[in-house]
Structure 1
Amino acid sequence: MKLPLGTVKPSGWLKSQLEAQASGLSGNIDDFWPDLVNSSWRGGDGEAWERGPYFLDGLVPLAYLLDDYQLKEKANRWIQPIIASSSDSGWYGPVKNKDRWPIAVANKVLTQYFEATGDTNAFNVLINYFRYLHESPPDWPNKDWRGVRAMENAVTGYWLYRMTGEKWILETIESIHKNSSDWTSYYEKFPWDSAASADRKIPLDWGPVGLTAHVVNNAMAIKYPGLYYQQSINERHRNAVFAGIEKYDAHHGQAGGRFSGDEHLSGKSPSQGTELCSVVEYMFSLGELYAIFGENSLADRLELLTYNALPGTTTPDMWAHQYDQQSNQVLVSGAKRDWSTNGDYSNIYGLMPNFACCLANMHQGWPKFIETMWMATNENGLAAVSYGPSVVKAKVGKGREVTITEETDYPFNDLITLTISTENPVKFPIELRIPGWADSVEIRYGKKTITVKGKPSVTLTEKWKSGDQITMQIPMKLRFEKRYNNAVSVLRGPLYFSLRIDKEYKSVKINYDNFGYKGSVDWEISPKKPWNYGLMIDTGNTMRGFRVTENEIGKFPFSDKGDMIWSADSGKYIVSQQNAPIIIRSRGIKIPAWTLKNYSADVPPLSPVAPEGDPETIELVPYGCARLRITEFPVMDITLMEEVIK
């Protein structure tokens, strides 16, 4: 079960990441982007649809996780007009908005705000709106966003039901489920295989069929059958979730746990894009699904997305974002690429490189991940769901308050220490997730040492007292994942690794006014050295030829040397001298025939590849630290291993 906002707080490098986010677009965007400055959601006369609620869906948890007074005041200046807009009918929001979709997002905002503040006015707005839905005719057409995404309302609906026990809320959710898009059947049949994408059989439009191939709709909808499972207890709904995830991977899967969609589902080539909105929505869906099913694979994937795809599509200072990221991203520029529908600037790091939805919606990623790092168990204990530096303060056992401090540099390091603080000794279970990629985990507590192999989790039930510690060692061996055309990706723990490409940033002004506010800049990034390397890999001895170096984690955890970082003190950009937290040195050989195609890296040549040159030392860094990258590597002919790897 998810814990209320504020129960889990970031620490260590995760707190640094949130502070970077707060200093970047998230803490500044509504001061200069007209769609938010003049938003009708805050009492202005401007944009009245999804952008205000999207922004708040990240700003509210960010403000309260950091306990930042200025951010909380900023959020409050939005929340109070929203609360005041609630009408006698139960409808709320801007007068000129007649669409239920943005209210579904605003519902989630008010839920979090109530958890953080206890403001019953926010709770009453939600209850009144759900009464409006209960008493109104269904209006969830599958040709429109509100119908395709109708079950987003169920996130708030089930939360309200748990708070009140009112059965009419379940009736409301059942009506929404029956009268909106049937995503359960969609996942059972899944029409959009890789061939459909390659042959452009996917309708690239916003009609009822095209909306089912829209990448963000898919990232949201994967949780819908699972949400309804809480009410139906029908295995069909549970099975649809896991079938859907499997089909995404099989037909559109990309490195970093994501699936492609530039704007529509677009196959497995590592040069296809993935929209940022789909990354943060997939993350949110996985957190919701884990709370329902407790399946390890869901938490594994949530870590993959959070620690790879999310940081990989923003600049380290979070002053710029991409609309589309690529696994093999060797040139960031305005150019005509093989996107399904997106514009020429979609892979630029900037303010608004394509549609504005990602600019509004990107802010929820890190805060909502932190919210789900710890959850409550049915046995009145606590479960460690995802690992990273954090502090959880919650009631356990028979209502006794405890604090668990998690000290770690995970995912950059394999050691985790949990320290318990409680006024008096208290007996309760602590459930520790065992990552699916881990061969074994050593856990030490008190005078006990246990080694866990082949289990999804281990539960430690003790009478815990202040000062008790649990240490976990999760060995992070290098792993290799087969990708497109028999290429491979390199993993260590939950991190994917990419070729470290020397790069050159160039500030540009694309086809809109970037307003020149503080660090708001659009960046083209070009390679200064070759990128077309194949890897030398001995799969029988994976560490052979690879040397791992762990470095200090900097103020901007996902920065690497050469990145441009906004300095608020000097009011200008500086070049980072901070190395990535991990560097892996290995050997590679250039492949001259592997070149650009339509301004992206062509698909990797079919592996194994016969070498045409001499081996060279190459460096790999975490995917999230690489603004330019090769993540799916061709593999050189294994018969030459003895000659080239020393």
Structure 2
Amino acid sequence: MRQYSYYLHFSLLKISILVLFLLLSQNTITQAQPKPVQPYTEIPLGSIKPKGWLRDQLVIMKNGTTGHLDEVYAKVKNDNGWLGGHGDGWEETPYWLDGAVPLAYLLDDPAMKGKVTKYINWTIENQRPSGYFGPITKEEREKKKQITPDNCAAGEDWWPKMVMLKVIRQYYQATNDARVIPFMTKYFKYQSQALKSCPLGKWTEWAESRGADNVMMAQWLYNITKDKSLLELAERIEAQAFPWSNLLGSRDWVMNAAAQQNNEKWMQRHAVNVGMALKSPAINYQRTKNEKYLNDLKTGFTDIMNLHGLPMGVFSGDEDLHGNAPTQGVELCAIAEAMYSLEEIIAITGDIQYMDALERMTFNALPTQTTDDYNAKQYFQIANQVQISRGVFDFSLPFDREMNNVLGMRSGYTCCLANMHQSWTKFASHLWYATADKGLAALAFSPNEIKTKVGASGTEVTIDEATNYPFEDAVNFSFSMAKDVAFPLRLRIPSWCKEGVIALNGKELRKHKGGQVITINRTWKNSDKLTLQLPMQVSTSNWGKNSRTVERGPLVYALKLEERWEKETQKEEGDYFNVFPKSDWNYGLVLQTVKDPVNNLTVNVVKPVGQNFVWNLAHAPIEITASAKKIPNWKIVDGLARQPVSDREGIYKGEVSPTVEKITLVPYGFTKVRIVAFPVVK
């Protein structure tokens, strides 16, 4: 018995050793495997030159507040803290620069470059010996204290510095200024020590809620210097910030956000915070390669759009996430930040879902929320917006002065006046990405020209992208180079496109189903011409309250309403505009249109996409004609057109006019007052 027991124990010991060996071997193998390479990286700022309608938009911005905020807005204009003065030392100057810097280099405009560079120069040249940077603090000015990691309380909030780091990164990408990398290295060494006694939330919750921007910058610098302490810093910041990856991956969070509009955890429902936070799981994945983070992002983004999504491609947020009713609003800052998050997410994940989402948001939600001259904006836009006026509406932040819906320079909070400038400029600078195999990827389409180096030989190539996309379906690429060069070209075939057709030098090359990024790997020759055809078919989609939206390609369409503008003045917030419709808006789409949109919607190209392009009714190049009936009892109440109730089949059961009328729809981005989410009637 003892001998049997001995052999049993000895056998178990051998098995245990063998299992342990196998586990250790497996771990060794896992650790030895190379981590996946990020699929896409940013093209240096200035390599992409917008053309056509996109350049027209950027020129409008240069001539408007993007180019002149420091001249027309007192908070930035007067004695600015980011130039050593007593004025704005918070977020608004960095916010403005976050859009003004890329605009200066996209347009290659010497005057704008000079304007923005003085802020960057002051910031770099006035970095403290410890590495701390930013406006001169009260403790420094009044008590002559030096800011060090041991005396970090003499400093100020981490949050505005996160934005300025993004500004300086873009400046570096455009100029390769040798001062930038030592500047950031020194600051992050300071921050790494200071966070021990001055954590992210010491001054405000804003830094905690937006820590992903800080993590992103530390990891960007790591990719240049390979200093592993930067990854340790990224982990420390992540640990002190809001746990966005867990929140996005948790269905409880998004459901609670839909149900609650009280003071509890409102910063976790704040739509701008959410827009910034979307990139948090992707940035964590970039550092760890843990697939859990990608799953968290997928779950969170899908849930947000299901529970809070609006037809123009963005989630509600007025200021909190606020459900999917077409009468909910969305803050302009939330659009700007969500767009930028998607641009970062695309590079890290290569997932086409986020490419499609960026396109829909950009071409629909973004253009409508500013005036033609880019001098005034709405704090909150509404999907079904039948008037623009003062009021409290259904917003979770009504605002005492009732100015959140009007078009004004200072209407609502002025964060959006400063932050709206990054939206178009960063979109333009992310039309192309570089690929890990020394190629290029065109993942969003607009008229532009790119000049960069490709292939194993690093050959310079210029590609002219001639297109009127998203209004037309052809994207034409013309190649120029001094010698033949082999490199892969990746092209996105949007998910809304049933089948994209690719032609090379006039001959059909390939066809591909939508919803993928395809690769053309060949030796390219000077004067090659590649055409990507993306046929656009009309369809309808289902949104909040069983409403229906008409779509064609990347654009959603809204009822065309002639506009009556009224200018007024409010004491605290200055001049603003109300906008009212001149004609009836209370229409429901007839059921047959929803059942068979292809045969019941007529697409009309009414004018070319010409020069001096503006996103307004006068320039709308496409119209769609639809059949509709009026709903007499659908009226404005408290400034809103609250959605009529429908049954499970999506049909409105109340009184409907017997007369079928033809209504005209135009792309949503060209409207100010509109219906985009229609009830359905028989």
Contact 1:204 1:340 survives alignment (8 Å): no
Match of 2:631 in 1: 591
Match of 1:566 in 2: none
Task: Report SS of the residue matched to 1:236.
Answer: helix
Equivalent residue in structure 1 for 2:133, among 83, 92, 99: 92
Cα distance change on mapping 1:54 and 1:601 into 2, 3 Å: same
Contact 1:13 1:557 survives alignment (8 Å): yes
Which shifted more, 189-198 or 229-238? 189-198
For residues 256-309 of structure 1, give each alpha carbon's deviation from its aligned partner in whole angstroms, at most 9, with x where no partner exists. 211011011111111111000000100000000000010001010001111111
Match of 1:389 in 2: 447
State whether structure 2 residue 532 is matched by structure 1 residue 472.
yes
Q: How does 1:48-197 map to 2 (within 5 A)?
A: 48-96=89-137, 98-138=156-196, 139-141=199-201, 144-193=205-254, 197=258
Equivalent residue in structure 1 for 2:602, among 544, 547, 560: 547
The amino acid of 1:59's aligned partner reads: A
State whether structure 2 residue 56 is matched by structure 1 residue 16.
yes
CA drift of 1:593 comes to: 1.1
Contact 1:503 1:526 survives alignment (8 Å): yes
Distance in 1 (CA, whole Å) between partners of 2:255 and 2:282 is 25
Q: How does 1:37-48 map to 2 (within 5 A)?
A: 37-38=77-78, 39-48=80-89
| Runs of 5+ unmatched residues, structure 2 | 1-40, 138-154
The amino acid of 1:501's aligned partner reads: L
The amino acid of 1:631's aligned partner reads: V
CA drift of 1:16 comes to: 0.7
Match of 1:436 in 2: 495
Distance in 2 (CA, whole Å) between partners of 1:92 and 1:442 is 52
Cα distance change on mapping 1:113 and 1:433 into 2, 3 Å: same
The amino acid of 1:275's aligned partner reads: E
Match of 1:233 in 2: 289
Structure 1 stretches (4+) deviating beyond 6 angstroms?
Answer: none
**TM-score (norm: length of structure 1):** 0.92
Match of 1:640 in 2: none
Cα distance change on mapping 1:214 and 1:196 into 2, 3 Å: closer
Q: How does 1:439-450 map to 2 (within 5 A)?
A: 439-446=498-505, 447-450=507-510
CA drift of 1:613 comes to: 3.3
Match of 2:659 in 1: 614
Match of 1:641 in 2: none
CA drift of 1:197 comes to: 3.7
Task: Report SS of the residue matched to 2:377.
Answer: coil
Distance in 2 (CA, whole Å) between partners of 1:360 and 1:326 is 21
CA drift of 1:510 comes to: 2.2
Q: How does 1:319-398 map to 2 (within 5 A)?
A: 319-343=375-399, 344-398=402-456
Q: How does 1:239-258 map to 2 (within 5 A)?
A: 239-258=295-314
Distance in 1 (CA, whole Å) between partners of 2:221 and 2:572 is 42
Distance in 2 (CA, whole Å) between partners of 1:591 and 1:366 is 38
Distance in 1 (CA, whole Å) between partners of 2:461 and 2:644 is 52
CA drift of 1:540 comes to: 4.3
CA drift of 1:449 comes to: 2.4
Equivalent residue in structure 2 for 1:419, among 463, 470, 478: 478
The amino acid of 1:625's aligned partner reads: F
CA drift of 1:347 comes to: 1.2
State whether structure 2 residue 69 is matched by structure 1 residue 29.
yes
Match of 1:528 in 2: 582
CA drift of 1:251 comes to: 1.2
CA drift of 1:454 comes to: 4.6
Q: Which has the higher helix share?
A: 2
Match of 2:466 in 1: 407
Equivalent residue in structure 1 for 2:360, among 304, 312, 316: 304
Task: Report SS of the residue matched to 1:630.
Answer: coil
The amino acid of 1:270's aligned partner reads: P
Which shifted more, 92-101 or 103-112? 92-101
Match of 1:569 in 2: none
Contact 1:604 1:633 survives alignment (8 Å): no
The amino acid of 2:540's aligned partner reads: F
Match of 2:144 in 1: none
Task: Report SS of the residue matched to 1:462.
Answer: strand
For residues 308-350 of structure 1, give each alpha carbon's deviation from its aligned partner in whole angstroms, at most 9, with x where no partner exists. 1110111222121110011101110111211101421111111
CA drift of 1:597 comes to: 2.4
**% identity of equivalent residues:** 37
Cα distance change on mapping 1:2 and 1:450 into 2, 3 Å: same
CA drift of 1:104 comes to: 0.3
CA drift of 1:238 comes to: 1.1
Distance in 2 (CA, whole Å) between partners of 1:154 and 1:8 is 27
Match of 2:557 in 1: 497
Distance in 2 (CA, whole Å) between partners of 1:555 and 1:319 is 21
Contact 2:593 2:601 survives alignment (8 Å): no
Task: Report SS of the residue matched to 1:509.
Answer: strand
Match of 2:671 in 1: 626
Distance in 2 (CA, whole Å) between partners of 1:4 and 1:510 is 43
| Runs of 5+ unmatched residues, structure 1 | 515-520, 562-577, 638-646
Match of 1:571 in 2: none
The amino acid of 1:476's aligned partner reads: M
Cα distance change on mapping 1:557 and 1:498 into 2, 3 Å: farther
For residues 401-453 of structure 1, give each alpha carbon's deviation from its aligned partner in whole angstroms, at most 9, with x where no partner exists. 11111000000000110011111000011001110110001100144421111
Distance in 2 (CA, whole Å) between partners of 1:164 and 1:581 is 49
Distance in 2 (CA, whole Å) between partners of 1:455 and 1:249 is 18
Task: Report SS of the residue matched to 2:413.
Answer: coil
Distance in 1 (CA, whole Å) between partners of 2:480 and 2:486 is 13
Distance in 2 (CA, whole Å) between partners of 1:73 and 1:259 is 37
CA drift of 1:167 comes to: 1.2
Task: Report SS of the residue matched to 2:536.
Answer: coil
The amino acid of 1:226's aligned partner reads: A
Distance in 1 (CA, whole Å) between partners of 2:182 and 2:612 is 40
Distance in 2 (CA, whole Å) between partners of 1:34 and 1:560 is 29
Contact 1:586 1:617 survives alignment (8 Å): yes
Task: Report SS of the residue matched to 2:523.
Answer: strand
Contact 1:194 1:266 survives alignment (8 Å): no
**TM-score (norm: length of structure 2):** 0.87
For residues 8-53 of structure 1, give each alpha carbon's deviation from its aligned partner in whole angstroms, at most 9, with x where no partner exists. 2211111111111111111122102111102211233112110110
Q: How does 1:266-277 map to 2 (within 5 A)?
A: 266-277=322-333
Contact 2:559 2:665 survives alignment (8 Å): yes
Distance in 1 (CA, whole Å) between partners of 2:503 and 2:56 is 28
Distance in 2 (CA, whole Å) between partners of 1:35 and 1:204 is 29
Match of 2:337 in 1: 281
The amino acid of 2:417's aligned partner reads: L
Task: Report SS of the residue matched to 1:631.
Answer: coil
Contact 2:368 2:615 survives alignment (8 Å): no
Which shifted more, 504-513 or 621-630? 504-513
Cα distance change on mapping 1:500 and 1:192 into 2, 3 Å: farther
CA drift of 1:548 comes to: 1.5
Contact 1:157 1:173 survives alignment (8 Å): yes
Determine which structure has more spread, i.e. the larger CA radius of gyration.
Answer: 2
Which shifted more, 521-530 or 299-308? 521-530
Match of 1:567 in 2: none
